[in-house]
Amino acid sequence: MSDSQPIALPPRPVTTVTAIIISTFLMGAGTALQGSAVSMRAGLEGFPDMIIGIIMSANYAGLVVGSLLAPSVIRNVGYVRSFAAFASLTSISAIAHVLWINPVMWIVFRGATGLCLAIMLVVVESWLNVSSTTYNRGRILSIYSVVYLGSMGAGQPLLGAFSPAGFELFGITTVLVSLCLVPVALMRVTGEPQAERRPPELITTFMRSPLAGSGIMVSGLITGATWSLSPRFGQELGMADGEIGVLMVLVSLGTLAMQWPLGWISDRRDRRRAIVWSLGVAFAAAALIGIMRSTGLPLYVLMFLFGGFGMPLYSLCVALANDQLTPDQMVGAAGAIIVYYGMGSATGPFFASLFMSAVGPAGLFLFMSLVLALLLGFTLIRLTIVPHIPLIRKTAYHVYPRTTAMAFGLLRRAGRRKTEKTGESG
């Protein structure tokens, strides 16, 4: 054998995970920026608030449909080609908004964006599953969740640098989404495609924890409404584009800042009490934003608090549901959780837009404060009727990305290992 012959090194899982995380950041930054740009551009084009709500709701409806189609796509063409194809379609959809400025076409484009994004997210989460081990799955889930949540605010300052009235923001979105292809295409990656598919157990999962199921739906309502219509809210208040970008960044920063304090409380006490704190502060912040209708520092502080206590509601409710499940039951429950969240996020922008049409921009936060107040009342009733809930197992709080059912596989496999270790030692 000649010494000059190169030795082919196999791809390492750490390289694969690194490539996926970098691609996730670029994908999240681009798609979140696109949502803000579409909402603001629709307002500038004179679309009615109700039509804007339908346009933004179409994105979340597409997410649900894409989550259902993704396993078949992955099994047929693999990770890299699935990711590349739908990233390209997402990129096309972004620039298409400025080529055809029409409400009907924008509904189609937003629905297509959501569908493509869902398939990309399923690819990412399934790929992370097969690229991680039983020892690091929980840690990888946390890193992935933080990166994805942080990416949603990373591109928002560009709203101040470029006007949504032009093509630049849509072009930047196209660039960011296209760039997310580069790491997975050029870095050494591995991973045999795997995509479990099981019908979501909607009724069984809800009956195990009615509060968790209701909370996940409400989380979808407020998350979909916030990310879809907050740019329009700021626009109608007369805020500058850069100030609107700050608002969206503060929602993301608040979410990252308060996830772990609330999770720490929920791990050490009844999770429902952490949910009460989350709902109470988020309700107060939303109500004050709606009533005060102010801009500047008071609005910035309230938006930070609203994001900090409202957005972690999803992870708190998922943790509450997981306490009632064995690791194997998480597969069917994960599908149900995504359906609950999809139902909320797909309808939230539409109903919030009706409130905005009726009472002006404040209607967005008045709608969300009403929804949060109803869930807070239900939570207090549940605490009174069921003061102590039986636990199948006490799970640790994790920051769950509000993405697809595949993310739950990371903890399900880690949870199964812990159960097996407990059985062996007993």
Q: pLDDT at position 423, please?
A: 40
Query: What is the predicted pLDDT for the residue at 358?
Result: 93
Give the pLDDT confidence score for residue 421 in this predicted structure.
43
**How many Cα atoms within 13 Å fall on the side-chain side of residue 298?**
10
Domain map (residue ranges) of the chain: 13-425
Q: What whole-number distance in Å separates Cα of residue 312 and Cα of residue 260?
A: 9
> CA-CA distance, 394 to 423, in Å (whole number)?
16
Buried b (16+ CB within 10 A) or exposed e, 74-85: beeeebbebbbb
Is 160:245 a contact under the CB 8 Å cutoff? yes
Q: What is the DSSP letter of 361?
A: T
pLDDT of residue 307: 93
Prediction pTM value: 0.83
What local confidence, expressed as pLDDT, does residue 406 receive? 62
d(CA 210, CA 22): 37
Torsion of CA 370, 376, 378, 383, to 10 degrees: -170
Q: What pLDDT is recorded for position 110?
A: 94
DSSP conformational letter for 295: -
| Confidence (pLDDT) at 407 | 61
DSSP conformational letter for 12: P
DSSP state of 354: H
Exposed e or buried b per residue across 156-177, where buried means at least 16 C-beta atoms within 10 angstroms of its C-beta? bebbeebebeebebbebbbebb
Q: What is the pLDDT tens value at each position of the chain, 426 positions in all?
A: 444 444 444 445 677 788 888 999 999 999 999 999 999 999 999 999 999 999 999 999 998 888 878 878 877 887 788 888 899 999 999 899 999 999 999 999 999 999 998 888 888 877 777 776 666 666 777 788 888 888 888 889 898 888 888 889 999 999 999 998 888 777 665 555 555 556 667 788 888 889 989 999 999 999 999 999 999 999 999 999 899 999 999 999 998 888 888 888 888 877 888 999 999 999 999 999 999 877 889 999 999 999 999 998 988 888 888 787 766 666 667 777 878 888 898 899 999 999 999 999 999 999 999 999 999 999 999 889 887 776 656 666 677 666 665 666 555 554 444 444 434 333
96 burial class (0-12, 13-18, 19+ CB within 10 angstroms)?
middle
Q: Which CATH class is domain 13-425?
A: mainly alpha
Distance CA 262, CA 313 (A): 9
Put residue 5 in one of left, alpha, beta given phi > 0 → left and psi -120 to 50 → alpha: beta
